[in-house]
Structure 1
Amino acid sequence: MMRDQQAKELLKKYKDGTLTEDEMALLESWYLSQGRSGDNTLDSDELEKQLDVVWAALPVNRPAVQGKTRPLLVWIAAAACIVIASTLAVNVFYKKPVAPQVPDTAMAVDALPGESRAKLTLASGQSIMLHEAGNGKLAQEGQFAVIKTKQGELVYQFEKQGAAENMGYNTITTPKAGQYQVKLPDGTRVWLNAASSIRFPTVFQAKERVVEIVGEAYFEVVKVSKKDKKVPFKVKAGNQLVEVLGTRFNVNSYADESTIKTTLLEGSIKLEAKGNDRGVLLKPGQQAEFAEGSEKTSTGVFDIKNVDTEHVIAWKEGYFRFDNIGLPELMRQLSRWYDMEVVYEGKSKEYEFVGQIERNTRLSKVLQILELGDVHFRIENKKIIVTD
């Protein structure tokens, strides 16, 4: 834990304007994790005044500035506002009452963040590496031209009149360290996270629109009607089926996660599980968790809770956002985004993480941020080794 005397010294240095960037990071982190908890013996009036000053200086409460910045845990313009707590009473602060230094993560190599990369597999079996293809028309799929825009999005654009041809399926697959956007033939937009895929028909049926996903995808579904009847949009993810008309939602169905998480941002969606005849309706701001072999509850096999939707779709906006998640879940996210294997040496401590880091940050910098909380790593080839 950070000692009261050390906190007083840092507060005084802050007031005098003599804090180093590392000390500022510790002070701001201390404010977020301990300062408001009441678990301290500092003079309450003076503490409150100093904390208000620190709070006003936090990155979330001040506009971006040009040039060199000094917000909490910032490297190369990567906004990071991380608080690390531990159920083992391990805090983000060093125990020795000396000016701390940012740890130097032991590594032989570094890893760049992911980027817009994906493979398109056409109904014919032909494959196109989208990140290598030029802009413009890439293929013709029935009545639709497959176009890569200047913004790097894949668009299915209606081009030919006449009777619909036989249905064929296209698949877009992102690798680890990749993500991609696509506008489907019906106008629905889909964002694919790393190590994910979507399979969809080149011609949607009149009665329903059905796609299949693996991994994580965010949807903005357009409303479609045929002969005055609304055409539902359905997403298959494992043994879960999502049915919507027009809405915004996120589905996380990675195989290495224990549950499928479906989060609704706008509109309404119906969830069903294979082999279970009881569905559930979600409201905006709710998340449903579905696990294979789940026992029935009052809502069937789904566990429903309210969540901060901004945290859920932060990946789409270019951020990692952690909301009291454990170290294993956090490391799985890093593994997918940086295309790295994670190895644990010994039993890891039960950390929880809260905060935000930009996804365009190099892996070494992310690990340096995390190491402020007494968790340690080293990088060897394509492995992140957790040494605690």
Structure 2
Amino acid sequence: MNQIEQYSQLIRKYLADQASKEEQELLQGLLDDPVFLQAWENVWRENSYPVQPATYPDPHRMMGNIWTDPRIAQPATIQQTTTDGHFNFRRRWWQVAAVFLAFFGAALWGYHNYYEVDTQPKELLSKVSIVPGSDKAMIILENGKEIDLSLLRADTVLDQGEYLITKDNKGQISYRLKDNLSPTKNIVYNTVVTPRGGEYTLKMADGSLVQLNAGSKIKYPVKFDAKLRSVQLEGEAYFEVAKMDVKGKRVPFIVQSGAQTLEVLGTHFNIKSFGDRIVTTLVEGKVRLSYADAALKEQVLAPNDQVVFDKSRTRVKKEQVDPFYSLAWKNGNFAFDNASIQTVMDEVARWYDVEVSYQDQLQGQHFSGTISRYENIDKLLKTIAFAGGVHFERKGRRIYVLN
């Protein structure tokens, strides 16, 4: 985890009233740190503030909101008597500044985007900071309650009735049955959603590990049925499926991705399902793919097999590949082998949470190479431009691709 993300988690805790006294004291010493201020900018930008200035309160009311913030008004106010008998109130300046930045910074950013994006010089717009993705996800419980997993402290335990959800010190969540309880037949579902610019790892009740890439969602039962384990995936995820036996019989594991069904007994594989294509890459074990369209033949995959299902053309293609390229994302890299520039930029857009526009007709531009997913965005674009035969212009969070 880089320094910006460490600061971002600290800021999210503060804004959610979950920061400890020690963490609040740490905040006090960081307000002059430019990396911390960049992290603060990123956090309030995550909140998707509206860009029309008319939707913001006027400055007087905004300041009133800050002064009445209970985190400042109650614990941080000290009443003192002056020599002339009047009272003097001192507030912790850093708390005032922090909350003020959250309100005022959002307003300035909205005004800038609404009025000035098209009029600013390119060199200024290109300096808008864009940071790589990080561990971010929401968990949606059976009752519809949504919890931001990045705000939970390490070793937090969530009670889900029969099961406990634990977040460990690596940020991973896992499930376990409460002591002295036997599982009932009730099936309860949870959903983990990663935003653009986020990824997350969870360990399900059967011990299977799932690593979600950016812009993805997985719905799964808190406990699995004794006859079948089934999850629903949108987006991209890497699975390490644990073997599960009940009364000596192996329990199959099913991944439903739209019109494709994957069945496995115990294996490692990657599924990428964005748009009209579902790409399944097998690393270890054996899986079987079937499709909603009965005209499509079932596919049985051996290690290093990859199947591309084109939903729009109702077509399936199977070939042997080097899984390195499909798994690079989970190891912190982008890796491409003669990939089209559109494929490359789709990956960049999801991970850095940027928009991409193509200004020219691009034909034949392909890219091969490996780049860290934590590289500075401008350096990353220069590398792609050098090797891919294209040029880029960046205006804020929008990247223009040119011949």
TM-score if structure 2 supplies the norm length? Answer: 0.66
Deviations, residues 153-196 of structure 1 (Å, cap 9, x unaligned): 11112224124152111000000000000000110000000000
Q: Percent identity between the aligned chains?
A: 36
Which of 352, 355, 359 pairs up with 1:341?
Answer: 355
Instruction: Note the C-alpha offset of 1:253.
Output: 0.3
Deviations, residues 270-296 of structure 1 (Å, cap 9, x unaligned): 00001327421001000011121545x
Q: What is the identity, as a one-letter code, of the residue corresponding to 2:278? A: I
Aligned residue-pair number: 278
**Any residues of structure 2 matched to 1:215-230 within 5 Å, and which?**
215-230=235-250
Contact 2:177 2:183 in 1 (8 A): no
Whole-angstrom distance in 2 between the partners of 1:203 and 1:271: 24
What residue in structure 2 maps to residue 235 of structure 1? 255
Answer 1 or 2: which has greater helix percent: 2
Q: Are 1:265 and 2:283 matched, yes or no?
A: yes
Larger RCO: 1 or 2 (CA < 8 Å, sep 6+): 1
**Any residues of structure 2 matched to 1:1-388 within 5 Å, and which?**
107-160=126-179, 161-164=181-184, 166-255=186-275, 258-276=276-294, 278-295=297-314, 301-373=315-387, 374-388=389-403
Deviations, residues 303-347 of structure 1 (Å, cap 9, x unaligned): 100111011100000000011101000010000000011001121
Q: What is the identity, as a one-letter code, of the residue corresponding to 1:378? A: E
Q: For the aligned residues, what is the CA RMSD?
A: 1.7
Please give the secondary structure, in 2, of the residue aligned with 1:372: helix
Whole-angstrom distance in 2 between the partners of 1:280 and 1:105: 52
Deviations, residues 28-76 of structure 1 (Å, cap 9, x unaligned): xxxxxxxxxxxxxxxxxxxxxxxxxxxxxxxxxxxxxxxxxxxxxxxxx
Whole-angstrom distance in 2 between the partners of 1:111 and 1:293: 34
Contact 2:125 2:396 in 1 (8 A): no
Whole-angstrom distance in 1 between the partners of 2:395 and 2:183: 57
Q: What is the identity, as a one-letter code, of the residue corresponding to 2:401? A: V
**Which deviates the most, 279-288 or 153-162?**
153-162
Whole-angstrom distance in 1 between the partners of 2:269 and 2:135: 21
TM-score if structure 1 supplies the norm length? Answer: 0.69
Q: What is the identity, as a one-letter code, of the residue corresponding to 1:363? A: I
What residue in structure 2 maps to residue 39 of structure 1? none
Contact 1:142 1:202 in 2 (8 A): no
Instruction: Note the C-alpha offset of 1:135.
Output: 1.3
Instruction: Note the C-alpha offset of 1:387.
Output: 2.5
Whole-angstrom distance in 1 between the partners of 2:183 and 2:167: 25
Q: What is the identity, as a one-letter code, of the residue corresponding to 1:115? A: S
Q: What is the identity, as a one-letter code, of the residue corresponding to 1:382? A: R
Q: What is the identity, as a one-letter code, of the residue corresponding to 1:364? A: D
Instruction: Note the C-alpha offset of 1:229.
Output: 1.0
Structure 2 residue runs of 5 or longer lacking an equivalent are 1-122
Instruction: Note the C-alpha offset of 1:378.
Output: 1.3
Q: What is the identity, as a one-letter code, of the residue corresponding to 2:290? A: E
